[in-house]
Amino acid sequence: MFQEMSAYVLDPKYIKKEEEIIGAMTLEQHKQLSQKYLDESKMAYLVVVDAGCNAVGPVQ
């Protein structure tokens, strides 16, 4: 985020303003945006677990 702020010469309060906008959005607005811009067929899933956790078995 800071790299984008520097590259695009964004206002130092950019992050705070974005947090306020996102925080003011309803769940329905978040869903609409995700349906518009996110394509599940192009997503990769990453599962991260504690190295000491053996709940799913050893990695092969």
**Could you tell me the residue range of the domain that residue 7 belongs to?**
1-60
Per-residue model confidence (pLDDT) at position 1: 67
Cα three-residue angle 18-42-22, rounded to 5 degrees: 15
Per-residue model confidence (pLDDT) at position 33: 96
Distance CA 30, CA 36 (A): 10
pLDDT digits (tens), the chain, 60 positions? 678 777 888 888 988 999 999 999 999 999 999 999 999 999 998 888 777 766 666 655
> How many separate domains does the chain show?
1
